[in-house]
Amino acid sequence: MVFQYLKIVSVVILITFSQASAAKTVLILLSGHKTLPWTQSVVKGIEIQQAEYREKGIKDINVYIEYLNLFKHPQEPNDQRLLQIEKKYAQKKIDLILTEGVAGSVFVEKTKDFYPKESRYERPIFMNFNTAGVGRENSFDIQPGYDTLLEIIHRLMPSLQRVIFAGSLKNPELIKIRQATERVLDREPEFWTAGFSREDIESYTRTLTHNDVIVLQPRLIEQNSGRRYVPHQVAEVLSEVSKAPIFTRYRSLLGSGIAGGYLLSGLEVGKTLIKTAHTPTLNWPQTSFNICEFDKSALEHWRIDISRLPDGSELINDPDTGFFPFDWESLRAIFSLPDHREDELDQVCRWHKKMD
């Protein structure tokens, strides 16, 4: 019985992906507005990969991009954005729909009337690239990389005391965070998952010092007045009042005043969206999605020594070089890394040339 069930599941998956592999028209739903740095980076990656395929003589596919602008205008009850997109493309045969982030994936998931069909094979295949594994059908769950982020934070802050993970956090991510913190720092993390009004933020951060650190997850808050703050605005408020440096895993928060961190590369995500449109898979190499990126002005604000950054770290708000070279022998000594980890960190923190 179990064998028959697995056989059926295998056939379903094969049919699903064989349909997607024949995709001629792809719709990509991007969470942000077209002017946001993260969104521009994803689009640049899309364009680079399309150009590479053309140079190789690989047949082009029709790619349509829609911007949901969920960072500035979060989902509302009875939101019509996706239904308007469906109406716009009603006369086109969409074979594959891709989302690039958690916000877009959740938006699609909650809009049940978006491309409603009784049979899954009569509507487009959905594939979601996010860090939460949320969404319909096929979800590429990008690994969080907490170990590397915590190793970097520990290096930048040798007198580190409290580690607070703030924002929207649920199991099993809480378990991953706890395990990584105990493994890398040999201590228990703290969690701040509620109370994100400006008053709450000011009250909470009074207890923090320069030797503490906040790792921020995207968080949407609503004041008693009804005013809503999107994650970038929450990060701005935190950066303004917190004595403790703020790091993150989310590129969309960079530029808000936070220090930076071990971030998803929008450029690599964009490339992978196009690769997936040509060759659907949920098994892309994890290390290709992340870079070490920091805000130079924020590091200076919190008096963090830039010379401690990993080799290949990319800097924004840096009028000089855009990156800071670092010696591998020193890095191994700093992290007490065995030799076999050198290649690993060299991959995840490699220098990415700016594509502007």
pLDDT digits (tens, 9 = 90+) for 121-157: 566 777 877 654 444 456 676 777 899 999 999 999 9
223 in the same domain as 136: no
Whether 248 has a pLDDT exceeding 60, the answer reads: yes
CATH number for the domain that contains residue 57: 3.40.50
- Which two tokens mark 253? 């928060």
78 in the same domain as 153: no
pLDDT for the residue numbered 226: 63
- Which two tokens mark 355? 């594509």
Q: Mean pLDDT highest for which of 63-77, 154-168, 263-277?
A: 154-168
Cis ω for the linkage preceding 245 (within 30 of 0)? no
Question: How many domains, in total, are found in the chain?
Answer: 2
SS3 content of the chain, % helix, strand, coil (to 5): 40, 15, 40
152 in the same domain as 121: no
CA distances from 285 to 28, 38, 130 (A): 21, 21, 14
Of 198 and 157, more confident: 157
Q: Mean pLDDT highest for which of 73-77, 98-102, 240-244?
A: 240-244
Alpha-carbon gap, residue 52 to 64, rounded angstroms:
18
307 in the same domain as 185: yes
183 in the same domain as 77: no
The average pLDDT across 275-302 equals: 84
Contact 262, 152 (CB under 8 A): yes
261 in the same domain as 150: yes
Of 93 and 210, more confident: 210
59 in the same domain as 196: no
Alpha-carbon gap, residue 324 to 245, rounded angstroms:
20
pLDDT > 70: percent of the chain: 73
- Which two tokens mark 284? 């892309």
CATH number for the domain that contains residue 184: 3.40.50.2300
74 in the same domain as 207: no
Whether 260 is in a domain gets the answer: yes
Alpha-carbon gap, residue 288 to 271, rounded angstroms:
10
**55 pLDDT tier (thresholds 50, 70, 90):** very high
Alpha-carbon gap, residue 107 to 204, rounded angstroms:
31
Which residues span the domain enclosing 125? Answer: 2-142
191 in the same domain as 295: yes
Mean pLDDT score of the chain, rounded to an integer? 78
218 in the same domain as 168: yes
The average pLDDT across 172-185 equals: 92
Which parts of the chain fold into alpha helices (H)?
2-21, 37-55, 81-88, 102-110, 146-156, 173-185, 198-205, 231-241, 266-278, 296-301, 328-335, 342-348
DSSP single-letter state for residue 224: T
Whether 274 is in a domain gets the answer: no
- Which two tokens mark 138? 């096929």
261 in the same domain as 123: no
For residue 105, which amino acid is it?
A: S
Whether 356 is in a domain gets the answer: no
Q: What is the dihedral of CA 51, 249, 280, 352, to 10 degrees?
A: 30
